[in-house]
A = this chain, B = another copy of it.
Amino acid sequence: MTRLQWGMIGGGAGSQIGPTHRISAGMDGLYQLTAGAFDIDPERGRAFAKSLDVPEDRTYGNWQEMLEGERARTDRLDLVTVATPNATHYEISKAFLEAGFHVLCEKPLTMTAGEAEEIVALSRETGKICAVNYGYSGYALVRQMRAMVANGDLGRIRLIKAEFAHGFHADAEEADNPRVRWRYDPAQAGTSAVFADAGIHAFHMACFVSGQTPSALSADFASLVEGRQLEDDAMINIRLNGGTLCRLWTSAVAVGRMHGLTLQVFGEKGGLSWQQQHPEQLYWTPVNGRTEVIERGGPGLSEEAQRASRIPVGHAEGMPVAFANIYRDLAEVLSAEREGRAPDPLALGFPAAEDGMWSMRAIEAAARSAKSGGSWVDL
């Protein structure tokens, strides 16, 4: 299969989410990043594109230019990722869908429900995909939960308890830092801060896992750091259309919690519990039975979860990132050699032939010691 042609808008230098998109899209070797408008500053964007090996003639100063340049081509982009500031998602996604591109938009899809409805209609009309990056639904064990629910393992789902609570906006002295402040400013963030930004992932996950859509809700918003106009903590009760009650807590002042995305699903026949910070284990308790630990990659997984499980059981899914650090260190040393410069000293920690040698010595010595009843052997 030839690689898919991929374009990106936003996600340039300094972006938090941009690198995750490129790592993720790169992981399977299915995409080639062939076009982009990476930065609001065209020059910075071009420099960044160059660092990514994006061809110069498909590097653009802004999304409008990119739309112009790309719509005319016969070797069209297969997918355009929109990773720009939230307020621009709507117009960019709309424009690319109208021009016949498939789009993957960072969340939130839009700033209002009305705009989102337009995008849905447009996507149906054009037959073009507009995916939204509720990326946590990609975890193998989240898909396992969904499969178990769909399969009836839990019976009717009575209750979902969802949380996304962190403490990264708890510092009152940091509240005026522009990086934080815009999130609580209605002019920039819209009608909601922490629910729209963080809790919405838990909301999507509740819908995804239950296979239901929301029908009504009741919310309590609180602004717990002084001076904030939008909520930094919220409790929301949601009725889903299949009869499930969902209770969702989200917070940005929960000091000591990291992102803290968790889902507990309680049905007539059993309960499930999962947390993103330890995503490799799912806890399943049948009514009147013992809790079982479902390991990603372990026995008895659904087809959906097996497909999404990418490395062997028992290894935290971050293992490829660890290995990638070795490859990156090597790349730095190899590039430095090529460029005739000294490599970054921090890149020199990769395991070398000497490590392989000490291992072999240790193995031989251990086998010898074991044979002689555990006597000490010099290496």
Contact-size category for A: 35 or more
- Chain B minimum-CB-distance residue to A200: B359
From A33, which residue of chain B is reached at the shortest CB distance?
A: B29
Is A58 among interface residues, defined by CB-CB distance under 8 A?
no
A104 to chain B, nearest CB (A): 6
Interface centre among A222, A236, A323, A329 (most CB of B within 10 A): A323
Q: Which residues of B contact A30 (CB under 8 A)?
A: 327-328, 331, 335
A73 contacts B by Cβ under 8 Å? no
Q: Indicate if the CB atoms of A213 and B358 lie closer than 8 Å.
A: yes
Task: Please state if B370 and A221 are interface contacts (CB–CB under 8 Å).
Answer: yes
CB–CB B28/A327 < 8 A: yes
From residue A67, how far is it (CB to closest CB) to chain B in Å?
19
Contact check, A138 vs B322: say whether CB atoms are below 8 A apart.
Answer: yes
Q: Are B361 and A310 in contact (CB under 8 A)?
A: no
Question: Chain A contact residues: over half helix, strand or loop, or mixed?
Answer: mixed
Chain B residues near A24: list those with CB within 8 A. 320-321, 323-324, 326-327
Which residues 18-74 of A have a CB within 8 angstroms of B?
19-31, 33, 51-53
Residues of B within 8 A of A316 (CB): 276-279, 316-318
Q: Are B287 and A170 in contact (CB under 8 A)?
A: yes
Q: Is the CB of B320 within 8 A of A108?
A: no
- Give A299 to B287 CA distance when docked, in angstroms: 11
Does any Cβ of B come within 8 Å of A4's Cβ?
A: yes
- The CA of A181 and the CA of B321, in the complex, are separated in Å by 31
- Given the known interface contacts A357-B120, A360-B115, A362-B238, the answer about A254 and B287 at a Cβ–Cβ threshold of 8 Å is no
Question: Which residues does chain B contribute within 8 Å of A27, judged by CB atoms?
Answer: 23, 26-27, 320-321, 324, 327-328
A102, A312, A370: most-surrounded residue (chain B CB, <10 A): A370
Q: Find out whether the CB atom of B272 lies under 8 angstroms from the CB atom of A161.
A: no
Partner of A138, one of B1, B310, B323: B323
Return the chain B residue nearest A243 by Cβ: B224
The residue that A167 contacts in the complex, of B235, B266, B325, B327, with Cβ under 8 A, is B266
A13 CB within 8 Å of chain B: no
Complex contact A133–B53 (CB within 8 A):
no
Query: Known: A78-B334, A314-B259, A320-B23. Is A351-B28 also a contact (CB below 8 A)?
Result: no
Asked if A300 is at the interface of the complex by the 8 Å CB criterion, the answer is yes
Any chain B CB within 8 A of the CB of A95? no
Q: Is the CB of B363 within 8 A of A195?
A: yes
A264 interfacial by beta-carbon distance below 8 Å? yes
Which residues of chain B are near A314, meaning CB under 8 Å?
166, 168, 257-260, 277
Tell me if B170 and A266 are in contact (CB < 8 A). Answer: yes
CB distance from A116 to the nearest CB of B (A): 4
Is there an interface contact between B135 and A322, defined as CB atoms closer than 8 Å?
A: yes
Tell whether A359 pairs with B4 under 8 Å between CB atoms, given A273-B256, A287-B255: no
Tell me which of B161, B234, B346 contacts A249 (CB under 8 A). Answer: B161
- Contact, CB under 8 Å: A216 / B320: no
Known: A143-B349, A314-B258. A25 touches B324 (CB 8 A): yes
* A210 lies within 8 A of chain B by Cβ: no
Q: Given A192-B366, A324-B25, A374-B219, answer yes or no on A271-B256 (Cβ-Cβ < 8 Å).
A: yes
Residues from chain B with Cβ under 8 Å of A222 in the complex: 159, 245
Q: How far is the CA of A139 from the CA of B249 in the complex (A)?
A: 27
Contact A320 B319 (CB under 8 A): no
* In the assembled complex, A146 has its CB within 8 A of some CB on chain B: yes
